[in-house]
């Protein structure tokens, strides 16, 4: 009996100690503190950002020196109180807070303690938009390299938490001595039953999923400049537009842009997966066409186009392009397309960047057909390497255009995509350290007003500074890719289907 | 000699004592000499091994390693490799682990003390897997490679030791458990251990008769073989970083290199020999260590002596001894320490130097202000690189060359390109920090400083350079940056180097000479023109060199070039350039000597000239020919 009594007592004591420990570990707000009129220094900078109501918890590190930290996130009667330099709300608490704060502001207060004296920084807000964001995004993870490549993967991320999966990793089919480059993943209408990505060199081809069936395509034909490069699925009809490019890379000896990616020649082709044929849409030697994109009704094809004519007969075209690289500037054009006859209309200039002495590429029309989002820089088409490149929006109803000043940075912004509800944009930016592209998300109001962009949240706030990959070609999706990486690898290693050329594309 | 019932040889106690003493002395001497060789003879190579690796105290670094099979071995290998920052410390850890591995072999396979040398064989082979590499250290792709095989074998031995303690059928479950749990952590070493376990059981068939014994012998090996095939395939579907063709060999280094045009298959096979023997030997011990036959003492002495000689011979053969590789590493270390005199002095040790040695020496002389008086007084030429692949300077010391000549974008580009192929390494990070600081790209410099701050030994270096962030004036004042900043004079153009550092620099540096050319740049341009033997560009470059400085007396090599070129280009009037009388007289005796050897083979003439004129530009101009830069 004595033994039993003692045992119970010990258990009770242990339980009490545990509770005390828990209580000691649970942070509480300081009772006394000095209020200072200064915002805390955070990494990543999530101060006063607009976030979707279904986003994963924003985690950040407080960069101000202190011995103790307490952070409170609150809306009305709901709050999360967290201790420590690294602020990492739990998924459950965060989702509960977002659910009550949708359409409102979450107040964020940071308290720090130094020499037993607490201070409270100026509070800031998360503006929680009731506009939801598509649940998935996909991107290629690639070192910010120039010519070499080794391990590359196309990944998908669930935006409402931190889950990330590999869609395809080139090492599943390649090896160190037989390299395979993978690129240009694209989807039809944000869904994954119709999607594609390219594999270059070893076991090269285009991995094309058509109505849920995956094949490996060889898109090279004698009548087209190259195999398909930059893709655009028609959101309504069963066709895919591609630019075809002869591309080269050359390096700045001094400039921080580091590298120029130039097209020696480029055209646009149309692929009809039902007939398995391609046809030329634009095929000339003096105009360079790139980055096609369809209007939401599927009847208008947008693309970037630059006019370049050789003037020096003593030089090869490439050599001349290298010397005159700053003269190559792109406008955004569009052509109507008749889905019955597969015929394209004449080119019509949508945004005449060259008249402004600029170069506009990567046209993306919002799914509500209202806005055209593009990247504008001084020259060239590959703005992801141009520090001066910024995102611009054009109202397709009025023709007015403006920079997304609140979302842009002094460094390269490019490779943007619209969410399916036209309220969010996702783009890559080199603003963090000028060399590694990170994904940023910004809200676009129905009036075309951008919000301050925020970096894709990660579980650890210190993820990006040590992560040695760039995020490339971000795309929204409303569902995950259903094939496993190993199924894709099996198809990549299998036989290819040769695409034929047809004059009318049918 | 007596013989025990289980066939294990037992010698007379006196012989046994003697043999044991001899072998113990040999083994102790082996490890001590090995430690000394690694610590001192391989000093600069081991520093480079550390520079060619990276270990970060960061959880994501760990998770990244674990994304591939054998991730734990790679992680532990990277952790241990960082201690080569202090070569003696790194060598101590490596040798101690080898010693542990030696005792494990003895223990696990119950090797009698008279046969201790048999237990040394894996140590020798493991050392050889590393010492054979030479220039391959720049290309080997497996993280933690220096330790992966050693740690892998230790793991195998521990697993076998545990297995021996289990009885049937628990041992079968252990095999299953070991391969299933071990493969993600240890890769091929997991299934290899299972096969060894099976082999041990198989060998027991020959000890005892009976059906039970056969079943217990055959079943484990069959099971182990089956698991060795199946488990990696099952794991293939859990990983996305390795193809099904390569999954079984996870943890082995990658020697499949496709750089340049050489065909590697035949040249790479020898690199696998130590591994092949190692695995076969461990398997052999698993099968036969319990059946060492009785032999005479005389035979035993001879066999053990032979074994010792073979081991030493093998290690000697598999120890990369290329002098130029050694000098390059010594120079690189001295360059990081800014000991320019040492950099130049090392170049004297090369009989026929590699281009990297010559480039390093020229940078050192440029820094010391001795280029014009000494650059042709060192051995010159272009020794072929002793490696199974085409070694490009862009993968080796070319990064330092680009940095020194102010080609920050190109240096950084190759840091990134190399990191893509071989993973980020300390050396790439440090070059990136310096290049980005000096080109004013502080944000990216800060990124790499931050990464280095997560290392154990390079943290203080990173903190030292952190003070230059956003401090252009401080950078300009620092003498360390004087040469690269003066060389950072050229305009921005679009260009490519085609992976040939020296060729690119020799062509490009003299292309940008203006009235305000910094003195070091003008001198580097003149050095380039002289190396190229470019008579057309010489005079303009000389003018640029002279315009930037007050020269009372032209350095000796430049005088030699003036005398030579004015002699060759009769239409050039160089009479205004003061030339020492001694130089003129020496040149006329050079020319007289040349007439004496007219008609003889060039190599013979060069030989005759070397002693008297080997330190002149004239010798370089006429006799150092066919320089092939890599």
Report how far residue B144's alpha carbon sits from residue B252's, in angstroms, rounded to the nearest whole number.
Answer: 11
**pLDDT, position B547:** 87
DSSP code per residue over B19-49: HHHHHHHHHHHHHHHHHHIIIIITHHHHHHH
- Contact B238/A at CB under 8 A: no
Average pLDDT of the residues in B198-213: 75
Q: Which residues of B touch A144 (CB under 8 A)?
A: 416
Does the distance separating the beta carbons of B257 and A322 come in below 8 Å? no
Contacts of A363 (CB under 8 A, 6+ apart): A291, A293, A302, A303, A304, A332, A334, A350, A351, A372, A373, A374
pLDDT tens-place string over residues B440-491: 999 999 999 999 999 999 999 999 999 999 999 999 999 999 999 999 999 9
**pLDDT, position B169:** 87
Q: Which of B170, B197, B169, B167 is nearest to B182 (CA)?
A: B197
Average pLDDT of the residues in A95-104: 96
Report how far residue B362's alpha carbon sits from residue B520's, in angstroms, rounded to the nearest whole number.
Answer: 12
Does the distance separating the beta carbons of A144 and B416 come in below 8 Å? yes
Q: Which residues of A touch B416 (CB under 8 A)?
A: 143-146
Does the distance separating the beta carbons of A256 and B60 come in below 8 Å? no
Q: Which of A147, A197, A151, A156 is nearest to A174 (CA)?
A: A151
- Number of Cβ within 10 Å of residue B318's Cβ equals 20
Helix axes B13-36, B297-317, angle to 10 degrees: 10
Cβ-nearest to B417 among A147, A178, A460: A147
Structure tokens at A20: 């005390």
Q: How far is CA B180 from CA A494, B164, B184, in A?
A: 30, 19, 8
Q: Across chain A, what does the average pLDDT equal? A: 93
Closest CA in chain B for residue A252: B494
Contacts of A343 (CB under 8 A, 6+ apart): A337
Cβ-nearest to B494 among A147, A153, A260: A260
**β-bridge pairing A343-344 and B9-10:** unpaired
Contacts of B254 (CB under 8 A, 6+ apart): A176, B140, B141, B142
Helix ranges (H only) for B37-136 are 43-51, 59-65, 71-81, 87-108, 116-131
**pLDDT, position B552:** 81
A237 in helix, strand or coil?
coil
Q: Determine which of A176, A203, A324 to mutate to test the interface with B (most B C-beta atoms within 10 Å).
A: A176
Domains of chain A plus CATH, in order, are: 34-129 (2.60.40), 136-500 (2.120.10.30)
Report how far residue A453's alpha carbon sits from residue A439's, in angstroms, rounded to the nearest whole number.
Answer: 9
DSSP code per residue over A389-435: -EEEEEETTT--EEE-TTT--SS-EEEEEE-TTSSEEEEEE-TTTSS
Does the distance separating the beta carbons of A178 and B240 come in below 8 Å? no
- Contact B237/A at CB under 8 A: yes
pLDDT tens-place string over residues A396-405: 999 999 999 9
The better pLDDT of the pair A365, A316 is held by: A365
Does the distance separating the beta carbons of B447 and A251 come in below 8 Å? no
Confidence of residue B167 (pLDDT cuts 50, 70, 90): confident
pLDDT tens-place string over residues B336-347: 999 999 999 999
pLDDT tens-place string over residues B128-137: 999 999 999 9
Which element (helix H / strand E) includes B288? Answer: helix B265-288
Report how far residue A472's alpha carbon sits from residue A140's, in angstroms, rounded to the nearest whole number.
Answer: 5
**pLDDT, position A145:** 73
Q: How far is CA B246 from CA B2, B232, B243, B249, B256, in A?
A: 50, 10, 5, 6, 12
Cβ-nearest to A322 among B58, B450, B494: B494
Report how far residue A286's alpha carbon sits from residue B617's, in angstroms, rounded to the nearest whole number.
Answer: 52
Does the distance separating the beta carbons of B447 and A433 come in below 8 Å? yes
**pLDDT, position B259:** 47
Q: Over 80: is that where the pLDDT of B584 sits?
A: yes
Cβ-nearest to B241 among A147, A171, A254: A171
Does the distance separating the beta carbons of A468 and B419 come in below 8 Å? yes
Q: Which residues of A touch B494 (CB under 8 A)?
A: 250-253, 260, 322, 325
pLDDT tens-place string over residues A205-253: 999 999 999 999 999 999 999 999 999 999 999 999 999 999 999 999 9
Confidence of residue A79 (pLDDT cuts 50, 70, 90): very high
Residues B518, B484 contacting (CB under 8 angstroms): no
Does the distance separating the beta carbons of B492 and A255 come in below 8 Å? yes
Q: Which of B373, B414, B434 is nearest to B557 (CA)?
A: B373
Q: Over 70: is that where the pLDDT of B174 sits?
A: yes
Does the distance separating the beta carbons of B242 and A146 come in below 8 Å? no
Does the distance separating the beta carbons of A147 and B409 come in below 8 Å? no
Report how far residue A140's alpha carbon sits from residue B102's, in angstroms, rounded to the nearest whole number.
Answer: 46
Helix axes B87-108, B71-81, angle to 10 degrees: 140
Confidence of residue B574 (pLDDT cuts 50, 70, 90): confident
Which element (helix H / strand E) includes A99? Answer: helix A91-101
Q: Over 90: is that where the pLDDT of B28 sits?
A: yes
Cβ-nearest to A434 among B141, B241, B443: B443
**pLDDT, position B421:** 87
Q: Over 60: is that where the pLDDT of A447 sits?
A: yes
Cβ-nearest to B240 among A172, A250, A432: A172
**pLDDT, position A3:** 44
Does the distance separating the beta carbons of A251 and B494 come in below 8 Å? yes
Contacts of A75 (CB under 8 A, 6+ apart): A97, A100, A101, A104, A105, A106, A107, A128
Peptide bond into A44 cis (omega under 30): yes
Distance from CA of A156 to the nearest CA of B (A): 14
Report how far residue A272's alpha carbon sits from residue A290's, in angstroms, rounded to the nearest whole number.
Answer: 19
Report how far residue B147's alpha carbon sits from residue B280's, in angstroms, rounded to the nearest whole number.
Answer: 19
> In B, residues 307-346, which contact A (CB 8 Å cutoff)?
none
- Contact B462/A at CB under 8 A: no
Residues B606, B625 contacting (CB under 8 angstroms): no
Number of A–B residue contacts, CB under 8 Å: 123
Closest CA in chain B for residue A257: B409
Q: Over 60: is that where the pLDDT of B383 sits?
A: yes
| ipTM exceeds 0.95 | no
Annotated domain spans of chain B: 2-317
Torsional sign, CA B421, B426, B428, B433: positive
pLDDT tens-place string over residues A24-62: 557 889 999 999 999 999 999 999 999 999 999 999 999
Closest CA in chain B for residue A260: B494
If phi over 0 gives left and psi between -120 and 50 gives alpha, with beta otherwise, what is residue B260?
left
Q: Which residues of B touch A146 (CB under 8 A)?
A: 413, 416-417
Task: Find the range with the poorest average confidence among A103-112, A313-322, B60-69.
Answer: A313-322
The better pLDDT of the pair A25, B73 is held by: B73
Does the distance separating the beta carbons of B141 and A171 come in below 8 Å? no
Q: Across chain B, what does the average pLDDT equal? A: 92
């Amino acid at each position: 009996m004595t033994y039993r009594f003692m045992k119970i007592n010990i258990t009770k004591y242990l339980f009490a100690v545990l509770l005390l420990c828990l209580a000691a570990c649970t942070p509480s707000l300081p009772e006394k503190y000095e209020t200072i009129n200064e915002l805390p220094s955070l990494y990543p900078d999530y101060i006063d950002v607009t976030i979707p109501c279904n986003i994963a918890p924003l985690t950040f590190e407080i960069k101000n020196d202190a011995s103790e930290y307490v952070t409170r996130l609150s809306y009305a009667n709901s709050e999360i109180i967290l201790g420590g330099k690294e602020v990492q709300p739990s998924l459950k608490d965060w989702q509960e807070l977002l659910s009550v704060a949708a359409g409102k502001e979450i107040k964020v207060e940071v308290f720090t303690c130094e020499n037993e004296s607490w201070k409270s920084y100026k509070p800031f807000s998360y503006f929680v938009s009731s506009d939801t964001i598509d649940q998935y995004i996909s991107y290629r993870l690639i070192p910010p390299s120039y010519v070499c490549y080794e391990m590359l993967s196309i990944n998908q991320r669930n935006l409402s938490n931190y889950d990330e999966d590999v869609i395809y990793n080139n090492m599943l089919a390649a090896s160190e001595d037989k390299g395979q480059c993978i690129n240009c993943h694209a989807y039809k209408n944000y869904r994954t039953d119709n999607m594609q990505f390219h594999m270059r060199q070893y076991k090269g081809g285009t991995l094309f999923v058509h109505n849920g069936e995956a094949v490996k395509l060889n898109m090279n034909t004698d009548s087209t400049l190259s195999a398909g490069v930059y893709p655009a699925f028609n959101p309504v009809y069963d066709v895919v537009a591609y630019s075809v490019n002869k591309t080269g890379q050359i390096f700045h000896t001094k400039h921080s842009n580091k590298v120029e990616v130039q097209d020696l020649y480029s055209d646009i082709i149309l692929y009809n997966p039902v007939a398995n044929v391609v046809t030329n849409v634009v095929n000339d030697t003096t105009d360079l066409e790139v980055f096609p994109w369809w209007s939401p009704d599927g009847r208008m094809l947008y693309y970037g186009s630059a006019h370049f004519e050789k003037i020096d007969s003593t030089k090869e075209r490439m050599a001349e392009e290298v010397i005159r690289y700053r003269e190559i500037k792109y406008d955004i054009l569009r052509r109507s397309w008749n889905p019955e006859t597969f015929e394209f209309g004449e080119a019509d200039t949508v945004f005449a960047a060259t008249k402004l002495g600029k170069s506009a590429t990567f046209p993306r029309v919002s799914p509500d057909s209202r806005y055209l989002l593009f990247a504008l820089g001084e020259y060239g088409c590959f703005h992801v390497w141009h520090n001066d490149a910024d995102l611009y929006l054009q109202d397709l109803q009025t023709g007015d255009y403006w920079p997304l000043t609140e979302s842009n940075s002094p460094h390269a912004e490019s490779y943007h995509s619209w969410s399916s509800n036209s309220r969010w944009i996702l783009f890559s930016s080199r603003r963090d350290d000028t060399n590694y592209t990170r994904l940023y998300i910004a809200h676009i109001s129905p009036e075309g007003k951008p919000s301050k962009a925020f970096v894709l949240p990660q579980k650890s706030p210190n993820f990006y500074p040590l992560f040695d990959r760039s995020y490339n070609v971000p795309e929204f999706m409303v569902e995950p890719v259903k094939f496993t990486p190993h199924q894709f690898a099996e198809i990549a290693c299998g036989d290819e289907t040769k695409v034929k050329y047809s004059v009318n594309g049918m | 000699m007596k013989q025990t019932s289980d066939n294990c040889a037992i010698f007379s106690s006196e012989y046994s004592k003697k043999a044991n003493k001899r072998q113990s002395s040999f083994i102790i001497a082996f490890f001590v000499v090995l430690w000394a060789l690694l610590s001192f003879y391989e000093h600069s190579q081991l520093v480079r091994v550390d520079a060619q690796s990276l270990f970060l105290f960061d959880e994501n670094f760990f998770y990244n390693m674990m994304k591939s099979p054998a991730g734990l071995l790679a992680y532990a290998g990277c952790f241990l490799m960082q201690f080569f920052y202090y070569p003696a410390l790194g060598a101590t850890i490596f040798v101690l682990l080898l010693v542990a591995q030696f005792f494990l072999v003895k223990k696990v396979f119950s090797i009698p003390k008279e046969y201790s040398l048999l237990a040394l064989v894996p140590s020798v082979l493991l050392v050889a897997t590393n010492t054979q590499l030479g220039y391959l250290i720049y290309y080997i792709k497996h993280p933690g490679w220096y330790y992966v095989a050693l740690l892998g074998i230790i793991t195998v031995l521990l697993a076998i030791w545990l297995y021996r303690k289990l009885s049937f059928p628990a041992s079968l479950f252990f095999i299953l458990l070991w391969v299933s749990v071990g493969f993600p952590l240890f890769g091929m070493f997991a299934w290899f251990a299972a096969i060894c376990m099976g082999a041990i059981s198989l060998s027991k068939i020959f000890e005892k008769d009976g059906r039970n014994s056969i079943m217990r012998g055959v079943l484990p090996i069959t099971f182990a073989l089956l698991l060795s095939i199946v488990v990696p395939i099952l794991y293939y579907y859990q990983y996305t970083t390795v193809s099904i063709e390569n999954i079984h060999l996870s943890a082995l280094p990658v020697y499949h290199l496709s750089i340049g045009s050489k065909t590697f298959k035949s040249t790479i096979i020898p690199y696998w020999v130590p591994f092949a023997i190692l695995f076969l030997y461990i398997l052999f011990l698993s099968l036969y260590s319990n059946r060492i036959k009785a032999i005479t003492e005389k035979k035993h002495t001879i066999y053990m002596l032979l074994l010792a000689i073979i081991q030493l011979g093998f290690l000697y053969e598999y120890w990369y001894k290329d002098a130029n590789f050694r000098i390059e590493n010594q120079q690189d270390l001295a360059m990081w320490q800014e000991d320019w005199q040492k950099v130049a002095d090392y170049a004297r040790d090369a009989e026929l130097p590699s281009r990297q040695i010559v480039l390093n020496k020229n940078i050192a002389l440029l820094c010391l202000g001795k280029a014009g008086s000494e650059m042709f007084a060192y051995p010159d030429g272009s020794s072929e690189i002793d490696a199974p692949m085409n070694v490009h300077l862009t993968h080796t010391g070319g990064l330092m060359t680009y940095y020194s000549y102010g080609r920050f974008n190109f240096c950084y580009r190759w840091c990134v390109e190399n990191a893509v192929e071989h993973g980020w390494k300390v050396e790439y990070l440090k070059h990136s920090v310096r290049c980005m600081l000096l080109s004013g790209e502080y944000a990216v410099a800060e990124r790499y400083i931050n990464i280095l701050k997560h290392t154990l030994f390079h943290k203080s270096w990173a903190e030292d350079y952190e003070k230059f962030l956003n401090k252009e004036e401080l950078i300009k004042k620092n003498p360390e940056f004087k040469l690269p900043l003066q060389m950072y004079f050229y305009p921005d153009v679009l260009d490519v180097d085609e992976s040939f550092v020296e060729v690119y620099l020799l062509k490009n540096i003299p292309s940008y000479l203006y009235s305000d050319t910094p003195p070091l740049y003008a001198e580097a341009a003149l050095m380039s023109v002289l190396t190229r033997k470019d008579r057309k560009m010489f005079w303009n470059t000389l003018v640029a060199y002279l315009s930037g400085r007050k020269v009372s007396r032209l350095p000796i090599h430049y005088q030699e070039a003036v005398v030579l070129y004015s002699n060759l280009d009769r239409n050039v009037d160089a009479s205004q350039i003061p030339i020492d009388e001694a130089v003129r007289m020496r040149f006329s005796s050079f020319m007289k000597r040349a007439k004496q050897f007219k008609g003889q083979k060039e190599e013979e003439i060069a030989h005759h000239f070397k002693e008297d004129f080997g330190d002149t530009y004239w010798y370089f101009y006429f006799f150092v020919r066919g320089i092939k830069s890599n």
